[in-house]
Amino acid sequence: MSNEHMPKQNTVIVKATEWFARLAILNLMWLLFSLPIITILPATEGLYYSLYRIRQHQEKHPYKQFLTYFKAEFLNSYKRNWPLIVLSVIFGIDFLILWNRSAIPEWFSIVSVAIGLLFVLFLIVTSYYFAVAQQTERPLKEQWLLSFYLIVKYPLISISTFLFFAVSMVVYIFWPAFAVFFLISFPAFVSYLAVEKVLKKMTSKK
């Protein structure tokens, strides 16, 4: 039986199953290529690039594009994203200090909350940035500014994206097996769809 003669519900189930399989493959590849830790940046860019190619119906096998992009853009990813490395190190040092709270005044808890909120904003802006970088052809600085602008301009979509992230983290905590297959790929897919949606809104208004 061809897809044309399949019930609509079955077609949706088939497409959803295909996407879950692709996301699982991409997540496994991301985990594998991120094992050295220092390769997280090119691996993350490769994941978003693969999502872009799939969404554009240019590739059905995400692992091929992931490998191609990882090899071709390995060094360039560090040149483009060195601010991410700096900010990640700063947040890492802050969290290490906060972890040893016995040596910190009680009032510093306010600072710890502020740092936590900034880190959440950093994660959301970064997820938007990787999606924007694949869906637009803008200079690097404009990509970052556009990412922040989209979050502020469309707060409902931004909040929904954050809630998806939060729910995903809860699921991974209680059912760690899901993290093996969807730890990064699912949040990346959600942020990609969010950026795709708001960019279409911006385009339609022009």
CA-based angle 197:199:204, to the nearest 5?
A: 95
Q: Stretch 85-106: mean pLDDT, rounded?
A: 77
Residue with tokens 């390995």: 74
- 54, 60 in Cβ contact below 8 A? yes
Residues 14-66 pLDDT 10s: 788 888 899 999 999 999 999 988 899 999 999 999 999 988 876 667 788 89
Residues 107-163 pLDDT 10s: 666 777 788 888 888 999 999 999 999 999 899 899 999 999 999 999 999 999 999
CA distance 140 to 206: 23
> Is the pLDDT assigned to residue 1 strictly greater than 60?
no
More confident residue, 196 or 93: 196
The pLDDT score that the predictor gives to residue 103 is 57
Q: Best-predicted range by mean pLDDT among 2-11, 16-25, 187-196?
A: 187-196
> Is the pLDDT assigned to residue 10 strictly greater than 90?
no
> Is the pLDDT assigned to residue 12 strictly greater than 80?
no
Q: At what angle do helices 40-55 and 185-205 cross, to 10 degrees?
A: 50
Whole-number Cα distances in Å, 16 to 21, 22, 61, 122, 180:
9, 10, 15, 30, 19
